[in-house]
Chains A and B, each alone.
Chain A
Amino acid sequence: MLLNDRQYDFFENGITVQDVIEKMNYIYPKLIVKVNDRLIEKQDYANTPLYENDDVKIYHLLAGG
């Protein structure tokens, strides 16, 4: 699975966007999530399944003080 254009090998069947966020320990609240260029709203993270060849973008909107 591609996450932010980097290959990760933690894909498993049934994995969701929420699982990836937790696996990566992405604790910052202002995230922009896109799966194959489709914007995923926060309330849909847990019910958006991912597939092996998905292109996932999880962007943090954090730009310092």
Chain B
Amino acid sequence: MICIKNIKPYEQIEQEEIERLKAAHVLRARLQYEKKPLFRGYTDKLLYVDLADSKIRIDDIPGQVKEKFIGGKGYCLRYLWDAVTPETRWNSPENAIVMSAGPIGGITQYPGAGKTLVCTISPTTDIPIDSNVGGYFGPFLKFSGFDALELIGKADKDVIIFIDGNKGTISIEEAPLEAGDAHILCEQLTLMYSDDEADRKNVAVVTAGSAADHVNISMLNFSFYDPNRKVVRLKQAGRGGIGRVFRDKRIRALVCKFSGIKADLNKPHNMSILNKTGLKFHREMHDLDGKQNNMRKIGTANIIEVMDAYDLLPTHNFKFGSHKDIDKIKSTVFIEKYLTQGAPDGCWYGCSMACAKAADHFLLKSGPYKGQRVCVDGPEYENAAGLGSNCGVMDAEAILELNFYCDTYGIDTISYGTCTAFAMECYENGILNKERTGGLELTFGNIEADFELIHQMGRGEGFGVIVGMGVKKMKEYFIKKFGADPAFLNDIGMEQKGLEYSEYLSKESLAQQGGYGLTNKGPQHDEAWLIFMDQVNNQIPTFEDKAEALHYFPMFRTWFGLMGLCKLPWNDIVPADNSKTAEPAKVPEHVQNYLDVYEAVTGTKITVDEMIKQSERVYNFQRIFNIRMGKGLRVNDASPYRAMGPVTEEEYLSREERYDKQLRELQGLDPEKMTLREKMDSTRRYRYEQYNRMTDAVYKRRGWTQNGVPTPEKLKELEMELPELLEVVNQVLSN
């Protein structure tokens, strides 16, 4: 086991090199501003930057926006709506990238409070995407005087936007010489904008990576400086291609510098409640994490082998839920051989969950940094499942290598895994071959081909660029260019609304099929993760039960995004007596903690119902935003059959006993008298019908029409009768 006290510091880039890069900067615009102090979590200011004409502006955030949209994702969506039209696409100049930390964001007393929410019109879905990311940028932005940042327009050369929150300056600088890859670029800029070694922790950088110039599935890296390792760490706003939009605007990086982090920077209403609530949680973390999820040793990757044991670990493009070689990538392999232990690995100050694990001095075997030793941030569970088992890569070092290159190239690990797994299945079915892939033998488990694929994305070459378009566009391409069967590709292509599925097998959980399919942005599990409640615990057996869960949990979890909070401290640790509560799955004591923290920061006391209502307003706003962009209806909530049941004979036969039993018990059929084809067809019909009936129940519970449209009555109930929303709703209802 590797311990932090034995980690040697990383080598730094020479100061001469930093000076050379800096000397090439050309100042385009600079604004000196007077910083408005925070009050109860808010500055009520938006920083607006138009890249096209290097305009920098500071706007007041109106009271109505604050009241209805709260902050974080709410602010991002509100300002994005105002920036775009129904015709706006990801690369339209008016498309905005909006970031906001939320009113609780930046507190240091309660864990997981350093999150930034980012929204834009996605290149893969053509609707708003939202992503939630750690790192220091969001809190630093807020302490520099801004509740939100809006970026629009496109620069004609690569630029850096630099915010100095202590001096009160914002500048746009041409930056022609900086690196494209995130691990180097973030280090260059951390060194460039810090005064000395002690100052490095006061610099936060947002970048994409070199692949973001070429592929849609690219993300944003948010940095923080790790003084224990003396290295820049990276967290990711992964989903939906935000990095692609960032680079299309020719933004090389955002840099925010702020020194003087202390406990009361949010100017909270009641420090005493904040301290007391935080302390209670830290004690819980200290006493119980080792008996529960081991977040402080392995982070979210603690569930790799758990998912495998319950047949839920996506394997070979979501065909199966377990793999015979699971022992090679289970969490203990990473803990014992790769991940440094004993480090305070929080991605924001005060996070005692400390789950941002890293593999130090990891030796790379491929690509432009072959032979170098680097710090790999991860793996998260999603990385291990997506880059690993779903592609048949049952090799811990290959997972770490792909994890590193995804991060530095600016590629979303989840989309990369799901896209590559799809391409591999297409290869194994003869839709692709070496000629079509430019020589890549993309079979499941071919690590060498996998490595080459990711480096092609980084270089913007070859078949990597095709895979990097995303599953939806790959399907269209393979149908058009190679005459592939559309029905088969739509069955096995694990995307919905244009977003790739995250890494859980939902076939045996109808509620989780809804947790993926009945989402706003597409199949990302951050809205609802109901597999165990449904499939294993059988706690939500009826359509109405599932609908209630698919109302409460997405609304509850949306609230984290309004506040600048991380979801993990909610239920990846639970109080010792949680099992004695009426609804343990909701972790009632932690919900109360959040209400207490909200009151402590903002001075406003709210109930659980009011908390849910805050989320519902933004959730319905996002749904109507989707409708405004030409999506957001029932047809857009349909799922690929691979997410619902066995597509191929191989899949059915692999779990034949289970499926035959279901034919008998659920449909009253006798599988002994049926052909395999008949059994598969009956299973498919039944599962589609179940999904439709559940969709009916969920829409009803959410106050939507059977076409998935929020009704004017629902908007009235939510006090969201905004003219622009009613216009969209009334138009679609009158059609």
Contacts and interface: CB of A to CB of B under 8 A. Distances in A.
Contacts of B531: 62, 64
Contacts, number: 67
Contacts of B539: 4, 59
A62 B532 contact: yes
A5 B538 contact: yes
Contact of B541 (A5, A32, A59, A61): A5
A63 B585 contact: yes
A37 to B, nearest CB: 12
B382 interface: yes
B533 A63 contact: yes
B584 interface: yes
A65 B381 contact: yes
Interface residues of A, number: 19
Contacts of B303: 28, 62
Interface string B305-316: 110011000000
A60 B380 contact: no
Interface in B583-603: 584-585
A62 B63 CA distance: 39
B552 to A, nearest CB: 12
Interface of A: 4-6, 25, 27-30, 32, 39, 57-65
A4 B300 contact: no
Nearest to A65: B300
B300 A63 contact: no
Contacts of A5: 538, 541
A57 B380 CA distance: 31
Contact of B579 (A6, A28, A32, A65): A32
Contacts of B584: 32, 59, 61
A58 B532 CA distance: 11
A64 B293 contact: no
Nearest to B579: A32
15 contacts: A4-B537, A6-B538, A25-B309, A25-B310, A28-B532, A29-B291, A29-B292, A30-B574, A58-B537, A61-B532, A61-B571, A61-B578, A61-B579, A62-B531, A63-B530
Contacts of B536: 4, 60
B473 interface: no
B292 A30 contact: yes
A27 B293 contact: no
A57 B303 CA distance: 22
Contact of B529 (A28, A58, A64): A64
Contacts of A4: 536-539
A64 B306 contact: no
Nearest to A31: B579
A24 to B, nearest CB: 9
Nearest to B529: A64
Contact of A29 (B293, B309, B380, B585): B293
Nearest to B541: A5
Q: Interface SS of chain B: helix, strand, loop or mixed?
A: helix
- Which 4 pairs across A and B sit closest by C-beta, in order of nearness? A64-B529, A32-B579, A4-B538, A60-B532
A28 B533 CA distance: 13
B568 interface: yes
B35 interface: no
Nearest to A33: B579
B262 interface: no
B685 interface: no
B577 to A, nearest CB: 10
A58 to B, nearest CB: 8
Task: Give the one of A5, A28, A32 with max B CB within 10 A.
Answer: A28
Contacts of B537: 4, 57-60
Nearest to B512: A64
Given A29-B292, A62-B303, 12 more contacts: A4-B539, A27-B309, A30-B574, A60-B537, A61-B571, A61-B579, A61-B584, A62-B532, A63-B529, A63-B530, A65-B380, A65-B382
Contact of A63 (B382, B571, B578): B571
Nearest to A29: B292
B503 to A, nearest CB: 9
B379 to A, nearest CB: 12
Interface string B552-595: 01000000000000011001001000111000110000000000
Nearest to B502: A65
A5 B504 CA distance: 24
